[in-house]
Amino acid sequence: MSVTSVEKDPESLTMTVRADLEATVERAWQLWADPRQFEQWWGAPGFPTTVIDHDLRAGGQITFFMTGSEGERHDGTWEVLAADPPRHLELRDADVDDEGRPNDGNAMTLMVITIAERDGGGAIMSIRTHFDSLSGMEEELMGFEEGMRIVFLQIEAVLAETPV
């Protein structure tokens, strides 16, 4: 199964992705709760993700980094705002610079994950992301080839609408 809906709002900078998974709710929760599993799907192949800290409790922190094709390192730090296994997770993202400070001051992106049973078996996972700024969105794309490729295509599409 796969992505069933994507809602994007360029005014409020929010996006909700819903996906049907061939898994129980408990199994789907493990995709987030088990750092070794998270490492396998978060980053693209060729951009390995390494989880450092993984304390999935309210107030806990998740830190990880991804390594790009030219050896560049993208750090991620999330604060866990809420964790109610196996159905509800809220993470606040604070990307940090080399000194461990947030790159964008106090600006942070919020992610709300809900997992529910699907009628007829399987699980529905929904990820709602609220971006605080365009630069927060750009941070999200850093190191993701597939996302950047679409950005280039979209730039070309915008240019095609704009008279030269």
Partner 1 sequence: MVVAQESDAGVDRIFHALADRTRRDILALAVGDRYSVSALAKRYPMSFAAVQKHVAVLEGAGLISKERRGRERLVRTDFDTVQRARVLLDGIEELWRARVDRIDELLATEKQTTGGQQ
Binding site for partner 1 (CB under 8 A): 1-3, 6, 8, 10-11, 13, 15, 17, 19, 21-24, 27, 31, 37, 40-42, 44, 70, 127, 129, 134-135, 137-141, 144, 146-156, 158-159, 162, 164
Do residues 128 and 15 touch, judged by C-beta distance below 8 A? Answer: yes
What is the Cα–Cα distance from 65 to 77, expressed in whole angstroms? 9
Q: 123: number of CA atoms within 13 Å, CB side?
A: 19
Question: Least distance (Å) from partner 1 to the CB of residue 59?
Answer: 26
Largest CA distance in the chain: 53
CB of 105 to partner 1, least distance (A): 12
Q: Which two tokens stand for residue 136?
A: 């927060």
Which of 88, 130 has the CB closer to partner 1?
130
Per DSSP, 101 falls in state S
Question: How far apart are CB 90 and partner 1 at their closest, in Å?
Answer: 17
As a whole number of Å, the CA-based R_g of the chain is: 17
Measured from the CB atom, the residue of 80 and 125 that comes closer to partner 1 is: 125
77 vs 129, beta carbon nearer partner 1: 129
| Cα–Cα distance for residue pair 71/110, rounded to 1 Å | 28
Give whichever of 6 and 52 is closer to partner 1, judged by the CB atom: 6
